[in-house]
Chain A
Amino acid sequence: KAGVTQTPRYLIKTRGQQVTLSCSPISGHRSVSWYQQTPGQGLQFLFEYFSETQRNKGNFPGRFSGRQFSNSRSEMNVSTLELGDSALYLCASSWGNDEQYFGPGTRLTVT
């Protein structure tokens, strides 16, 4: 069974630009969660989508948004990028509320 895939794997953007990251979950998984990982900060929860509905949201500004499509694929968007948005963005899928399977992440660098 194919794992969670994320595209692109690496991205370099300039301050003020916007970016869209994509996540394809494991087939049959209905939940997709997004996390931001920076050195020393662990895994910061961004949001979770379940069956196309945002089920949970973390404490990030409104510049961070996401959505989930009918095939469970998910995208997250960050507008007006700031230097502090540089991080590894991980998505994780699960069937429901059990173990999460993480993708390899998208490394975003904002210059």
Chain B
Amino acid sequence: QQPVQSPQAVILREGEDAVINCSSSKALYSVHWYRQKHGEAPVFLMILLKGGEQKGHEKISASFNEKKQQSSLYLTASQLSYSGTYFCGTRGSGNTGKLIFGQGTTLQVKP
């Protein structure tokens, strides 16, 4: 089951904040966040694991609500370089389950 991301698109001015949400109808083991810039491959941002462990870039902030099967990615004081499409991926069947990605959230940061 593909996770659902919201919003589908967001436009910001430099310095503004944004939150991208990811929700699943199934119990989740982990949530993964990636960013893809136009014409480039997706790049890893963060993994949030059941139980509270997180691995990822220090400048990226995210949360994982295991009870609600939801995750949120927090982009604060946005920079032009934050522009791109953000994908959340979810594993629902333990550590070796398939990683299923949402449809993506397009973020555009304007000067």
Residues of chain A at the chain B interface (Cβ within 8 Å): 4, 33, 35, 40-45, 48, 50, 55-58, 90, 92, 97-105
Residues of chain B at the chain A interface (Cβ within 8 Å): 2, 32, 34, 40-44, 47, 55-56, 87, 89, 91, 95-104
Contact A45 B101 (CB under 8 A): yes
B contact patch SS: strand
Cross-chain pairs A/B with CB under 8 angstroms, 23 sampled: A35-B101, A42-B2, A42-B102, A42-B103, A42-B104, A43-B104, A48-B99, A56-B96, A56-B98, A90-B42, A92-B42, A97-B95, A97-B96, A98-B47, A99-B32, A100-B32, A100-B34, A100-B44, A101-B44, A102-B34, A102-B41, A103-B41, A104-B40
Residues of B within 8 A of A40 (CB): 103
Contact A43 B41 (CB under 8 A): no
Minimal beta-carbon separation of B98 from chain A (angstroms): 4
Residues of B within 8 A of A4 (CB): 41
Contact A99 B98 (CB under 8 A): no
